[in-house]
Amino acid sequence: MADNTAGENSEAAGRNAASNDASGREAIGVGVVGFWHVHADDYARETTEHSGTRLVAAWDPDAERGSEGAERLGVDLADSLDELLARPDVDAITVTTATNEHTDVIGRAIAAGTHVFTEKLLAPTFAEAEALVAAAREKGVALVVSLPRLSEPLITTVAQLIDDGALGDVTYARVRMAHDGWIGGWLPERFADPVAAIGGAFADLGCHPAYLVQRFLGAFPDEVTASYGHVTGRAVEDNAVVVARYPGGALGVAEASFVTTPGAFALEIRGTEASLLFGFGQETLTAKGGRFGDTWVPVELGAGAPTPYALWIDAIRGEADTTDNLQAAVDLTRFVVAANDAAKGHA
């Protein structure tokens, strides 16, 4: 772990090549696996900014994309995944390959005893996701999936209000995430590959509304229905609405779009006693009913939880439990697969 080769490649990498963190512990060496996903550089930045990690190398199954990514980050480029995993200075990897490559890449990393932080979805199928979690547990590998909205103050506040019974019984939860990626021209065309991406807008952006609906209403709806739209004519959907019906009649609505200007994040939670709103033209959380009164009032946000990346590093150090994160990731995979299957039946 004391190899500082990456530090010779750029000033940024050099700043990140220190062998010890602020507490005197040896910094965790992290490799970037794949530049397919647009968040690859974001996780690399988290690595350089976290006091306990350093960025050391990269690899991509596409040689040209890997070379460009490694040069951009100022780190070594490995010739193969096996070479990257065998490096003594690589203790952990961030995975941002195409989604259909996750099972192979993550599985090989776990087998090598390398800790893994991965972009969602964890795997293309529920069975594969469960198998990866089980393998990581058996091997003692810290596996964490990036589900960032769950740690944000807005969501932790909403979830706490629901758990405390402030809304009564929740009967309706709607979450929408949308951006203009395919009408603004900035979302890579590879996101339209139905094999590599395991779907379109819902399998990517829609993951966030999906796991939030599950957090608010539960992981096990009785039925999932879906309607996917193809505004731009691509092979995968760029507009999606998914409805989950829960025991007792509650409904969860998860929406995603690559064809919305301006981009949007909004949620609406309705209960038997009170309701919550965020978005819909205002970036504040408001509540009405029950203990909140008869008019819409702002709700003060509480503290957020550790980010998924911070959770991962703490887990590598043996200082955090990843059980909730991994359960949410497996539940998410089941939800997205159910939505994709439902949309095919609806077409």
- Are residues 125 and 63 in contact, defined by beta-carbon separation less than 8 angstroms? no
Q: Cβ–Cβ contacts within 10 Å for residue 225, how many?
A: 16
Q: Which amino acid is at 96?
A: T
pLDDT the model gives residue 20: 58
**Rounded to whole angstroms, what are the CA distances from 92 to 42, 71, 107, 141, 320?**
16, 20, 13, 9, 16
Structure tokens at 284: 């504040």
pLDDT digits (tens, 9 = 90+) for 59-91: 999 999 999 999 999 999 999 999 999 999 999
pLDDT digits (tens, 9 = 90+) for 155-187: 999 999 999 999 999 999 999 999 999 999 999
Structure tokens at 160: 């706490």
HSE-CB at 293 with a 13 A cutoff on CA atoms is 6
The domain ranges of the chain are: 5-146, 149-308+333-346
**Rounded to whole angstroms, what are the CA distances from 25 to 51, 88, 144, 322?**
10, 17, 21, 22
Choose among 275, 258, 124: nearest CA to 197. 124
pLDDT digits (tens, 9 = 90+) for 24-70: 679 999 999 999 999 999 999 999 999 999 999 999 999 999 999 99
pLDDT the model gives residue 346: 56
Q: What residue spans of 218-322 are helical by DSSP H? A: 308-316
DSSP state for residue 179 in the 8-state scheme: -
How much is the mean pLDDT over the chain? 93
pLDDT the model gives residue 22: 57
- Average pLDDT, stretch 244-259? 98
**Rounded to whole angstroms, what are the CA distances from 167 to 190, 268, 307?**
42, 12, 26
pLDDT at residue 21 tops 60: no
pLDDT at residue 11 tops 90: no
pLDDT the model gives residue 25: 79
pLDDT at residue 333 tops 90: yes
State the pLDDT confidence band at 7, using cuts at 50, 70 and 90. very low
Q: What residue spans of the chain are helical by DSSP H? A: 11-15, 40-49, 63-73, 81-86, 102-111, 126-139, 153-163, 207-217, 308-316, 323-346
pLDDT digits (tens, 9 = 90+) for 282-292: 999 999 999 99
Give the CATH H-level superfamily of domain 5-146.
NAD(P)-binding Rossmann-like Domain (3.40.50.720)
3-state secondary structure of 222: coil
pLDDT the model gives residue 28: 98
pLDDT the model gives residue 345: 81
- Average pLDDT, stretch 79-106? 98
> For residues 150 and 262, what is the distance between their CA atoms, to the nearest angstrom?
23
pLDDT at residue 250 tops 50: yes
- Are residues 12 and 275 in contact, defined by beta-carbon separation less than 8 angstroms? no
- Average pLDDT, stretch 272-286? 96
Residue whose token pair is 């965790």 = 28
Share of the chain above pLDDT 90, in %: 91
> For residues 124 and 195, what is the distance between their CA atoms, to the nearest angstrom?
10
pLDDT at residue 235 tops 90: yes
pLDDT the model gives residue 146: 98
> For residues 310 and 50, what is the distance between their CA atoms, to the nearest angstrom?
8
DSSP state for residue 27 in the 8-state scheme: P
149-308+333-346: CATH topology = Dihydrodipicolinate Reductase; domain 2 (3.30.360)
pLDDT at residue 2 tops 50: no
- Are residues 257 and 205 in contact, defined by beta-carbon separation less than 8 angstroms? yes
pLDDT at residue 6 tops 50: no
pLDDT digits (tens, 9 = 90+) for 147-158: 999 999 999 999
State the pLDDT confidence band at 23, using cuts at 50, 70 and 90. low
pLDDT digits (tens, 9 = 90+) for 108-134: 999 999 999 999 999 999 999 999 999
The counts of H helices and E strands in the chain are 10, 14
